[in-house]
A and B are shown apart, each in its own frame.
Chain A
Amino acid sequence: EAQVTQNPRYLITVTGKKLTVTCSQNMNHEYMSWYRQDPGLGLRQIYYSMNVEVTDKGDVPEGYKVSRKEKRNFPLILESPSPNQTSLYFCASAGTRDYNEQFFGPGTRLTVL
């Protein structure tokens, strides 16, 4: 089954404790992206990658890191999480022909205390 998977689905952590949210897709997609979704603010792009070893900042990159060492994986790293990073996070991927047709993962609900 073609899909984007994220882990963990739910995470409660404390300020300053480094964490990684994994994202993996099995569709051989070039494009991958991370979004956060907050009430009243909608979906905002954090980082995106158009190919292996190529990453770029989105609208709200501060406090986040990403890497793209393999085509299928695009982890999101929070080196020192803060409460304002409490949010719902989505990973998405898209194929070569059209990056507008994005396939989203199930989401990760992160709470930073």
Chain B
Amino acid sequence: QKEVEQDPGPLSVPEGAIVSLNCTYSNSAFQYFMWYRQYSRKGPELLMYTYSSGNKEDGRFTAQVDKSSKYISLFIRDSQPSDSATYLCAMSATRNGGGADGLTFGKGTHLIIQP
């Protein structure tokens, strides 16, 4: 089963707020977890990439994976208007798979940071 659930939003927050974006999944085989960011009229770009459970931090962004709960999160600190975009979670069971063994994307959350 490939289903990944993600609230589509829109999620609107004031500049400077902490943003929490989340996805849940049902396939316990998933081990690789990603967040892609997509600006309007652009292709998605990889933002964060984690393996298995735990946290990963990169500047203002923190990715968190809880495999026991099948739940992943992306936190954005000190949010900026330039963070306004659609955020897609993605996950897979392998690094080199295709098709059903490849990436499964959430539908994306539209985030708006109000100046």
Digitize B26-47: 1 where CB-to-A-CB distance is under 8 Å, 0 elsewhere.
Answer: 0000001010000001111110
Query: Once the chains are docked, how many angstroms separate the CA of A100 from the CA of B32?
Result: 8
Report yes or no: A58 in contact with B99, Cβ–Cβ below 8 A: yes
Q: Verify B88–A42 contact, CB threshold 8 A.
A: yes
Residues in B with CB closer than 8 Å to A97 are 95
| Bound form: Cα–Cα A40–B95 in Å | 27
B67 interface hit (Cβ, 8 Å): no
Tell me whether A75 is interfacial, beta carbon within 8 Å: no
Q: Would you call A99 and B95 a contact (CB within 8 A)? A: yes
A residues apposed to B, CB below 8 Å: 4, 31, 33, 40-43, 45, 48, 50, 56-58, 90, 92, 97-107
Measured CB to CB, the residues of B under 8 A from A are 8, 32, 34, 41-46, 49, 88, 90, 92, 95-99, 102-103, 105-108
24 A–B contacts, CB within 8 A, in A order: A4-B43, A40-B107, A42-B88, A42-B105, A42-B106, A42-B108, A43-B108, A45-B99, A48-B102, A50-B98, A56-B99, A90-B44, A97-B95, A99-B95, A99-B98, A100-B92, A100-B103, A101-B34, A101-B49, A102-B46, A103-B45, A104-B43, A106-B43, A107-B41
